[in-house]
A and B are shown apart, each in its own frame.
Chain A
């Protein structure tokens, strides 16, 4: 059994990172030229890491399944990136960002990692601006900020609703520069299918060239997995169609522990599903909650009339509306954290107040913001006694400038104009806080194998705050991993080039080829999507926003049954020799079918409610917090890191106890 040594440096929390950096072994520049590093994934974490490692002098091979590194799904992040700059002079500080993140994560994140994240956050903004990332600015030419859920300051930097795109293109530009110099060899349309271990150390990967179908061996002195999250285990999510767990899962099967798989973020503001044909869900940025008010009708009969198409939301009088977040959480209102907002929306819909045909939607209404901005604008422009229409027009222009692309996206999908009628939204799977277990240096339980960004588990606990994913991805990629990896690589300077003819490479390659052969030769009767959709339905119904022991036990059995059926009845047309999207999907779904069972097992094991993980058995029964999630710090203030044993049902749990020395654990209250 590998021991779970988190390697948190000693000393006061605000000195840990600085001291640690000062004592990490360095690799001299001449030696760096003889060290190879593989980076899998080219999103914010992977792209930034590959670029930074190459700048430092290492030889980097970067892999992505997309045709270009610029297309990684970090690009779809909309709202913004947090940083403790305190440009708004509203009392923000490294400590407050640290505190908000630990609290937002419901005290299930590692203190030392979160503090480091808060410390380097300001550097990220400096770095990105230096790269030419066009953040939003005010008329004085300085950077603008906005607020996100779960905090009381404005620390979110943004580029309209395309912040992820701009940050990723910044990392992509840094990566492109290194590719141009020959320091990074970029392998697009390649998918990692196995991790190769030699003498217990990660020494390379097996990858499939998705265009030719060729199975390739690649060796290195260290392997970095920056392969994102596994939200697509639910089939419908806001992830990209190709987002998958395969690289992480295959590393898990080679010995990397998988931590807190059940910690999944269900984002409150997504466009509700419209029908069976749907392949994915679309997020409407949390930034909209700065100006949008969430409500449902206060009367069940009104909700029913709306569902039947007999009443329009604009016809419901102010006093007949239930702004349920403002009602339940007066201190944070519409800006409560995501897990809290999602559960509150589900609660209203379960009680019969939902508003679209399926009964699974609530309103996000911009009318008050339009009027407020309109009046302000009229004042600024010196318009005396403006008409209501004039105020509306002025207000809409302000809203358009702030959120234009999101409103347009909503209109194109739903065919409804959100300037005229409130948006309909419903929670959807968005992000996975769980992931591969890593120590303070971001190394997994396999020496030489690292995990960065969403692929690892450490910073967000049981719930991630908005605009923190971009922060973590870039922090890991630019400022953490390039330093901490030196500790390991400094002992690798005498290793020399690693041959891909070693028996371990041959064995791993054979495994991959055998699995592909096996899948393609099943020649069953059902498509890959058929199994993926069934898995997703079990996950959503029984391992979704509210979980209980009975449902989770059933889910484990059902997922196992679907997996068995998959391996006897899936149909994959075509051959493995060439571009074959069905074959790619099949490999990913096969892994989701294993992960899904471990996910349910972890959720069953964690008999408490914390953050996005809500167990119906664990709620507050009385007092001011009645009905809210109830954490169990006595039994569950730990990370559950699962060891693969050959079957998800028999995976072995290892604990990393979480110690809070700087923040007192209290009931999380946003009231």
Chain B
């Protein structure tokens, strides 16, 4: 599809800081290339705002190739916008029509407070990981040889698929309960599928789920919206696996 230039009407959430009241503000933008990414488009808007002497819109972004998980944005009511299997930085303007109105909001959840404009604080995810998202092995240089323990390819592949979670928080923003089950279950699954992670499986699932609750994330009601909006296609199966792990951990005695 050849490049076209389109005009759009942006409605963007502006909020000075975590304490202040926010509101939607209209920004018409002309001559946007359909080949540009959504964030290129926001750069263009910000360049215009700076040139006018206004404060640019703050938004999180970094790698701009869909892997760091830093970009977020709730675009036209969907986390990472209307395309599937992409983060906002990979969303391209060819997905929008000339003259379209596009609403842009931050990821909203109690556990993700707004820092400024479209930037939110997702450090709750880090705190959950600190409670058990690891294998307790020190750096030593003399762990056993990597091939000493064969791992069935099917398990290794499933662990990999779960491990591709980028921690962006789209699942939380999408969930009507603001649940973090997809995120937490991806890490629990990855490690419970691998022999290295099985040793601490019980403590891991209990501690991570406990921290998830403390952070104020909601419960899972199996709607499945998270899986649809996940840019990395993390499967709902992981939540089922985490529930099994959790049940196993709570009903068995050491």
With A132-B197, A134-B190 as contacts: A242 and B151 at CB distance below 8 Å: no
Is B143 interfacial (CB 8 A cutoff)? yes
With A67-B123, A529-B47 as contacts: A73 and B68 at CB distance below 8 Å: yes
Q: Would A132 and B135 count as touching, CB distance under 8 A?
A: yes
Q: Would A70 and B50 count as touching, CB distance under 8 A?
A: no
User: Chain B contacts of A482 at CB under 8 A?
Assistant: 139
- In the assembled complex, the Cα of A408 lies from the Cα of B90 at a distance in Å of 10
- In the assembled complex, the Cα of A51 lies from the Cα of B129 at a distance in Å of 14
Q: What's the nearest-Cβ distance from chain B to residue A353, in Å?
A: 23
Is B35 interfacial (CB 8 A cutoff)? yes
User: Known pairs A174-B137, A277-B35. 10 more at Cβ < 8 A?
Assistant: A52-B139, A73-B68, A132-B190, A137-B153, A176-B126, A177-B136, A188-B126, A413-B90, A573-B53, A579-B116
Chain B: CB-nearest residue to A161: B67
Q: Mark A260-283, 1 if CB is under 8 A from B, else 0.
A: 000000000000001101111011
Q: Would A408 and B44 count as touching, CB distance under 8 A?
A: no
Q: Would A137 and B62 count as touching, CB distance under 8 A?
A: no
Q: Mark B163-178, 1 if CB is under 8 A from A, else 0.
A: 1101100000000000
- In the assembled complex, the Cα of A72 lies from the Cα of B39 at a distance in Å of 19
Question: For window 187-214 of chain B, which residues contact chain A by CB distance below 8 Å?
Answer: 190-191, 194, 196-197
- In the assembled complex, the Cα of A71 lies from the Cα of B86 at a distance in Å of 17
Cross-chain contact of B92 among A85, A176, A413, A582 (Cβ < 8 A): A413
- In the assembled complex, the Cα of A203 lies from the Cα of B85 at a distance in Å of 46
- In the assembled complex, the Cα of A667 lies from the Cα of B30 at a distance in Å of 55
Chain B interface residues toward A at CB < 8 A: 1, 3, 16-17, 32-33, 35-37, 39-41, 43-44, 47, 49-51, 53-56, 58, 60-70, 83, 85-86, 90, 92, 94, 115-116, 119, 121-123, 125-126, 129-131, 133-147, 149-153, 156-157, 159-160, 163-164, 166-167, 190-191, 194, 196-197
- In the assembled complex, the Cα of A418 lies from the Cα of B167 at a distance in Å of 28
Q: What's the nearest-Cβ distance from chain B to residue A309, in Å?
A: 9
Q: What's the nearest-Cβ distance from chain B to residue A33, in Å?
A: 17
Q: Would A130 and B144 count as touching, CB distance under 8 A?
A: yes
With A129-B196, A176-B133, A277-B35 as contacts: A143 and B146 at CB distance below 8 Å: yes
Q: Would B43 and A529 count as touching, CB distance under 8 A?
A: yes
Chain A: CB-nearest residue to B52: A573
Is A378 interfacial (CB 8 A cutoff)? no
Q: Would A76 and B191 count as touching, CB distance under 8 A?
A: no
Q: Would B139 and A478 count as touching, CB distance under 8 A?
A: yes
Q: Which among A119-127, A434-442, A545-553 touches the partner chain?
A: A119-127
* 14 A-B residue pairs with CB within 8 Å: A67-B70, A68-B125, A75-B63, A123-B141, A129-B146, A130-B143, A131-B135, A134-B159, A139-B153, A240-B62, A280-B64, A413-B92, A478-B141, A578-B17
- In the assembled complex, the Cα of A651 lies from the Cα of B120 at a distance in Å of 43
User: Chain B contacts of A573 at CB under 8 A?
Assistant: 49-50, 53-56
With A126-B144, A174-B139 as contacts: A71 and B70 at CB distance below 8 Å: yes
- In the assembled complex, the Cα of A179 lies from the Cα of B47 at a distance in Å of 39
- In the assembled complex, the Cα of A613 lies from the Cα of B80 at a distance in Å of 40
Q: Would A527 and B47 count as touching, CB distance under 8 A?
A: yes
- In the assembled complex, the Cα of A554 lies from the Cα of B19 at a distance in Å of 50
Q: Would B69 and A412 count as touching, CB distance under 8 A?
A: no
Cross-chain contact of B131 among A138, A162, A180, A280 (Cβ < 8 A): A180
- In the assembled complex, the Cα of A75 lies from the Cα of B232 at a distance in Å of 14
User: Chain B contacts of A129 at CB under 8 A?
Assistant: 143, 146, 149, 196
Is A415 interfacial (CB 8 A cutoff)? yes
Q: Would A71 and B129 count as touching, CB distance under 8 A?
A: no
Chain A: CB-nearest residue to B129: A176
User: Chain A contacts of B143 at CB under 8 A?
Assistant: 126-127, 129-130
Chain B: CB-nearest residue to A212: B17
Q: What's the nearest-Cβ distance from chain A to residue B249, in Å?
A: 18
Q: What's the nearest-Cβ distance from chain A to residue B190, in Å?
A: 7
Is A392 interfacial (CB 8 A cutoff)? no
User: Chain A contacts of B3 at CB under 8 A?
Assistant: 274-275
Q: Mark A56-88, 1 if CB is under 8 A from B, else 0.
A: 000000000011111111011000000001010
Is A173 interfacial (CB 8 A cutoff)? yes
Cross-chain contact of B163 among A72, A134, A275, A581 (Cβ < 8 A): A134
User: Chain B contacts of A240 at CB under 8 A?
Assistant: 62-64, 68
Cross-chain contact of B196 among A123, A132, A412, A574 (Cβ < 8 A): A132
Q: What's the nearest-Cβ distance from chain B to residue A284, in Å?
A: 10
Chain A: CB-nearest residue to B158: A134
- In the assembled complex, the Cα of A137 lies from the Cα of B142 at a distance in Å of 22
A-B contact count (CB 8 A): 228
Q: Mark A147-159, 1 if CB is under 8 A from B, else 0.
A: 0000000000001
Q: Would B160 and A159 count as touching, CB distance under 8 A?
A: yes
Q: Considering the complex of A and B, which 8 residue pairs feature the smallest CB-CB distances, nearest first?
A: A141-B150, A180-B130, A173-B134, A134-B160, A277-B36, A130-B143, A129-B146, A52-B139
With A138-B153, A143-B146 as contacts: A55 and B139 at CB distance below 8 Å: yes
Q: What's the nearest-Cβ distance from chain B to residue A145, in Å?
A: 11
Q: Would B153 and A241 count as touching, CB distance under 8 A?
A: no
With A76-B68, A413-B92, A573-B56 as contacts: A68 and B167 at CB distance below 8 Å: yes
User: Chain A contacts of B153 at CB under 8 A?
Assistant: 137-139, 141
Is A338 interfacial (CB 8 A cutoff)? no
User: Chain A contacts of B16 at CB under 8 A?
Assistant: 578
Question: For window 521-535 of chain A, which residues contact chain B by CB distance below 8 Å?
Answer: 527, 529
Q: Would A173 and B129 count as touching, CB distance under 8 A?
A: yes
Is A479 interfacial (CB 8 A cutoff)? yes
User: Chain A contacts of B140 at CB under 8 A?
Assistant: 127
- In the assembled complex, the Cα of A413 lies from the Cα of B157 at a distance in Å of 27
Is A375 interfacial (CB 8 A cutoff)? no
- In the assembled complex, the Cα of A415 lies from the Cα of B3 at a distance in Å of 10
Q: What's the nearest-Cβ distance from chain B to residue A359, in Å?
A: 17
With A52-B139, A130-B135, A579-B115 as contacts: A85 and B146 at CB distance below 8 Å: yes
User: Chain A contacts of B126 at CB under 8 A?
Assistant: 68-70, 176, 179, 186, 188
User: Chain B contacts of A130 at CB under 8 A?
Assistant: 135, 137, 143-144, 196
Q: Would A166 and B163 count as touching, CB distance under 8 A?
A: yes
- In the assembled complex, the Cα of A588 lies from the Cα of B152 at a distance in Å of 47
Is A198 interfacial (CB 8 A cutoff)? no
Cross-chain contact of B151 among A141, A174, A415, A527 (Cβ < 8 A): A141
User: Chain A contacts of B149 at CB under 8 A?
Assistant: 129
User: Chain B contacts of A72 at CB under 8 A?
Assistant: 68
With A129-B196, A131-B135, A132-B194 as contacts: A274 and B35 at CB distance below 8 Å: yes
User: Chain B contacts of A294 at CB under 8 A?
Assistant: none
User: Chain A contacts of B145 at CB under 8 A?
Assistant: 126
Cross-chain contact of A278 among B40, B53, B130 (Cβ < 8 A): B40
Cross-chain contact of B62 among A73, A131, A132, A574 (Cβ < 8 A): A73
Chain B: CB-nearest residue to A528: B50
Cross-chain contact of B60 among A67, A139, A142, A278 (Cβ < 8 A): A67
With A241-B61, A579-B116 as contacts: A162 and B147 at CB distance below 8 Å: no
Chain A: CB-nearest residue to B87: A412
User: Chain A contacts of B119 at CB under 8 A?
Assistant: 579
Is A334 interfacial (CB 8 A cutoff)? no
